[in-house]
Amino acid sequence: MNFFAHTTAVIDEGCIIGEGTKIWHFSHIMYGCVIGNNCNIGQNVVVSPKVVLGNNVRVQNNVSIYEGVICEDDVFLGPSMVFTNVINPRSAVSRKDEYKTTLVKRGASIGANATIVCGNEIGEFAFIGAGAVVTKSVFPYALVVGNPARQVGWVSEFGHKLVFDGSGKAVCSESGQEYMLQNNIVRRK
C-alpha cells in the first residue's frame, strides 16, 4: 500500500487510492471509487461507488460522499457536510438510475454542516459557508451563505473576502494576488 489506512477503516477491493492518502477511523471506502494522491479522509466518512476525489482533497469527519459526486483537486469538505444524489427520494421507490452529478471544482471549500443538493456545480475556489443549503450552482470565487444559500460576496484563492474598487479590481489581503470582476465573473490577473 502506498497510502495509510487506520485499522478500523474498511476498504473494499476495486477502489483506487492515491499515494500519500490517509484514511482514518471507521471510514468506509467502497468499490469503484477513485481517491487521488495526498488526500485526507477523516473519521466516520463514507466514499460511495463511482465517487471521484482529486488530489489533495480534505474530507473532515462524518461526511458521506454519495455516488454522483466528483471533487476536483484541492477541495475541502467540512465536518458533517452533506451531499445528496436524488432530487425526490422515496424509501419505497428505487431511483438509482436517476442519480444526479454534483461537481465540486478545484479549490472550493464547503463549510461544516452545509448541504449540497444534487445536480449542481460548485465553481472553482467558491466558499460555501457553514450550514448553507445550496440549491443551485455557485459561481467560481463566490461566497454563499444561508438557507437557501445566497451569494454575499467573492473570495480569493486563499479564502479571504474580496473588495472590488470602482474599476473592478481587488487584491487578496494574504497573498497579494490581484482579481478582476467583469460581468459578474471573477478572474485572477
> pLDDT (tens digit, 9 = 90+) per residue, 4-51?
999 999 999 999 999 999 999 999 999 999 999 999 999 999 999 999
User: What's the pLDDT tens digit per position in 123-134?
Assistant: 999 999 999 999
Q: Taking all residues of the chain, what is their mean pLDDT, rounded to a whole number?
A: 97
- d(Cα 12, Cα 179) in Å, to the nearest integer? 44
Mean pLDDT of 67-91: 97
Does this model's pTM top 0.95? Answer: yes
pLDDT of 1 reads: 78
94-115: per-residue pLDDT in tens? 999 999 999 999 999 999 999 9
Question: Using CB atoms within 10 A of its CB, is residue 179 exposed (0-12), middle (13-18) or buried (19+)?
Answer: buried
CA distance 18 to 31: 15
Which CATH number applies to 4-85+100-162: 2.160.10.10, 3.40.50.300, 3.40.50.450, 3.50.50.60? 2.160.10.10
